[in-house]
Amino acid sequence: MGQHEFSEGVEVSHSQYGRGCILDMIASQTGGIDDARVLFYLSGEEVTVPTYSLAPASEVTSVESTRGTLGTTVTIDDGFYTITVEPDGEGTGYNLSLQAGNAILDQAELSSDKLF
């Protein structure tokens, strides 16, 4: 990530702390910008990290879709959380899940069978 891409409010990702938002840039004594103060979402902590250890959040986000016989499975991964939308196997709706790593945080069912 180049120095010109850093500014307050930019969403970034860090390999140890996960996703966060730059609060401000910290100039080194040599006049360059070497560190950033970042609020990391998962821990809620403000941490000062070297700018070289950050990547734009958009660079670690991926979207994958796979077409199957009962519908399309979509997986969105932002580098920490993963949302998966997949056919329910009955052709009437979809199952959704939110994960952090291997832990399932929440699940939901969307089905046309259960409208009323």
Give the per-residue pLDDT at 2: 46
pLDDT 10s digits, 64-107: 999 988 889 999 988 778 999 999 988 888 999 999 878 999 99
Provide the residue ranges of all domains of the chain, joining segments of one domain with +: 3-58, 61-107
Q: Does domain 3-58 have CATH number 2.30.30.390?
A: yes
Give the per-residue pLDDT at 29: 64
Put simply, whether the predicted model's pTM sits higher than 0.75 gets the answer: no
- Residue 57 in 3-state DSSP? helix
What six digits make up the tokens of 30?
Answer: 């040599």
pLDDT 10s digits, 6-60: 788 888 989 889 889 999 988 766 666 689 999 998 899 999 999 889 988 878 7
User: Could you tell me which of 27, 1, 22 has the C-alpha nearest to residue 11?
Assistant: 22
Buried b (16+ CB within 10 A) or exposed e, 47-76: bebebebbeebeebeeeeeeeeeebebebe
